[in-house]
Amino acid sequence: MKTIDDFNFKDKKALVRVDFNVPLNGSFTVTDTNRIEAAKPTLIKILEDGGSAVLMSHLGRPKGQSNPDLSLEHIVDTVSQIIGVKIKFVDDCVGKSVENAVAALQPGEVLLLENLRFHAEEEAGDATFAEQLSKLGDIYVNDAFGTAHRAHASTTAVAQFFPDNKCFGYLMAKEIEAIDKVMETGEKPILAILGGAKVSSKITIIENILDKVDHLIIGGGMTYTFVKAKGGQIGDSICEDDKMDLAMDILKQAKEKGVEVHLPVDVLAADDFANDANTKVVDVDKIPDGWQGLDAGPKTLDNFKEVILKAKTILWNGPVGVFEMESFAKGTIAVGKAIDEATQNGAFSLVGGGDSVAAVKQFGFENKVSYVSTGGGAMLESLEGKTLPGIAAIIGE
């Protein structure tokens, strides 16, 4: 796996695919700078070597049309502040004006190109468009894990024009290593904590990781499909009735492979899907009609904590309750605290997937786990065992 440490960028122009698809508010101010900060170490290495950087990214979904609201010009000042270098900007990403701006770039300078997705050819993975992009650098660096599962021109097709001069940036390398630690080289016992609403969205992940893990905690809304499949009463809790056979099959597969599955034993049930609903703790398989399970119960959390503290490698994907409502956030917070404690005791912990990442940020666990993945869809596809196009393009698979 080639990383930027395998190259010296002195007097070289690095064409860097970053993921600056950041949220903007009504006045076009960046409201979450994490993705820009994540790219900083890669850019600093290039500049300190004596090279220059040409940055390409998308923003939003302009669908191949120019859209001033989605111009990357809005983020130039923020990127300049974070990187510590005045960033130059050009109002397109291919063509003569762009090539001239790149030619004028001096060592130590950074140029940000306009939104790649203003061109339909980007999402189409168009080779001619990719070749135009390839003229803008001597070395191609992919540091955009969040888009690594997309076979787009800037993430995949462009790499073929740099047969010997392509590599991962630090962020991509860290993401690949973190997933590898869980899926391939993790110290046992290995634990996966899967939450979220639906079994259907996690099937391929569960089936893929059953060969890798020793313990599987199932929480969140998908609990109730398993409980109902086993004959329990789940009241008005969310359930995928058409996935009950699958749930039983997963339990059977786990048993055959020697994986211990830990389901909730009690839940915090509510008489309405609302923060101010009446609540009570009930057994997970005895939820009364008119009530629905919205968070893990105290006995469940004790059980989960015990399993988490024994684990040496932990993957957390998905909350164990409706954490967006304060009344039903206690379970997810408790799981976060247990993972924090396990991590302090030497376990490796990886958090990935949109909702669990949102939860660790919201409750302040971001710096208390070993690694928080920056790529939702890319992370999930990695856990499903797929080779991501953006990674394959660099390692030559």
On whether both 194 and 164 belong to a single domain, the answer is no
On whether both 65 and 208 belong to a single domain, the answer is no
Binding-site annotation, residues: 19-21, 35, 58-61, 117, 150, 202, 293, 324, 353-356
Q: Is the pLDDT of residue 397 over 70?
A: no
On whether both 157 and 192 belong to a single domain, the answer is no
Please identify, among 136, 171, 206, the residue that sits at the C-terminal boundary of a domain: 171
pLDDT of residue 290: 97
Whether 290 is in a domain gets the answer yes
**Greater model confidence, 376 or 259:** 259
pLDDT of residue 353: 76
Q: Do 147 and 58 form a contact (C-beta atoms < 8 A)?
A: yes
Which residues fall within 8 angstroms of residue 320, CB to CB, at 6 or more apart?
193, 195, 219, 220, 264, 295, 296, 304, 331, 332, 335
Average pLDDT over residues 368-389: 87
Q: Provide the residue type at 352 as one letter.
A: G
Catalytic choice (305, 377, 385, 386):
377
Catalytic choice (64, 108, 232, 354):
354
Catalytic choice (13, 35, 88, 174):
35
Catalytic choice (2, 40, 198, 310):
198
| pLDDT tier at 378, thresholds 50, 70, 90 | confident
On whether both 208 and 158 belong to a single domain, the answer is no
Average pLDDT over residues 8-33: 96
Binding-site annotation, residues for (2R)-3-phosphoglycerate: 35, 117, 150
CA distance 244 to 89: 53
Which residues fall within 8 angstroms of residue 187, CB to CB, at 6 or more apart?
312, 313, 348
Tens digit of each residue's pLDDT (9 = 90 or more) over 224-250: 999 999 999 999 999 999 999 999 999
On whether both 166 and 194 belong to a single domain, the answer is no
- To the nearest whole percent, how much of the chain has pLDDT over 70? 99
**Among 57, 96, 62, which residue's Cα sits nearest to residue 73?**
57
CA distance 269 to 287: 7
Whether 227 is in a domain gets the answer yes
Q: Do 284 and 291 form a contact (C-beta atoms < 8 A)?
A: no
On whether both 137 and 197 belong to a single domain, the answer is no
Q: Is the pLDDT of residue 158 over 60?
A: yes
Q: Provide the 10 A C-beta neighbour count for residue 137.
A: 24
On whether both 353 and 225 belong to a single domain, the answer is yes
Q: Provide the 10 A C-beta neighbour count for residue 163.
A: 8
Whether 274 is in a domain gets the answer yes
pLDDT of residue 34: 87
Whether 36 is in a domain gets the answer yes
Q: Is the pLDDT of residue 20 over 80?
A: yes
Please identify, among 119, 142, 171, the residue that sits at the C-terminal boundary of a domain: 171
Which residues fall within 8 angstroms of residue 155, CB to CB, at 6 or more apart?
17, 142, 144, 147, 148, 389, 390, 393
Least confident stretch, 132-141, 299-308, 387-396? 387-396
pLDDT of residue 270: 98
Tens digit of each residue's pLDDT (9 = 90 or more) over 97-148: 999 999 999 999 999 999 999 999 999 999 999 999 999 999 999 999 989 9
Evaluated on CA atoms 342, 343, 344, 345, the torsion sign reads positive
CB-facing half-sphere around the CA of 84: CA atoms within 13 A: 10
Whether 397 is in a domain gets the answer no
Whether 218 is in a domain gets the answer yes
Whether 298 is in a domain gets the answer yes
Q: Is the pLDDT of residue 352 over 90?
A: no
Tokens of 32: 């979450």
Per DSSP (E only), the strands in 114-248 are 139-142, 166-168, 190-194, 215-218, 233-234
On whether both 165 and 196 belong to a single domain, the answer is no
On whether both 192 and 161 belong to a single domain, the answer is no
On whether both 190 and 158 belong to a single domain, the answer is no
The pTM (predicted TM-score) of the whole model is 0.89
Tokens 């991501």 belong to 388
On whether both 65 and 157 belong to a single domain, the answer is yes
Q: Is the pLDDT of residue 358 over 90?
A: no
Question: In this structure, what CATH number is given to the domain that contains residue 37?
Answer: 3.40.50.1260
Whether 262 is in a domain gets the answer yes
Count of domains in the chain?
Answer: 2
Tens digit of each residue's pLDDT (9 = 90 or more) over 204-220: 889 899 999 999 999 99
Q: Is the pLDDT of residue 372 over 70?
A: yes
pLDDT of residue 52: 98
Q: Do 189 and 214 form a contact (C-beta atoms < 8 A)?
A: yes
CA distance 301 to 330: 9
CA distance 243 to 239: 9
Tens digit of each residue's pLDDT (9 = 90 or more) over 160-173: 999 999 999 999 99
Please identify, among 143, 171, 199, the residue that sits at the C-terminal boundary of a domain: 171
CA distance 266 to 249: 23
What own/partner pairs with CB < 8 Å and gap ≥ 24 does 253-258 have?
Answer: 253/207, 253/210, 254/210, 254/216, 257/210, 257/211, 258/214
pLDDT of residue 29: 96
On whether both 215 and 244 belong to a single domain, the answer is yes
Q: Annotated catalytic, 17? A: no
Give the residue numbers spanning the domain of 129: 4-171
Q: Annotated catalytic, 377? A: yes
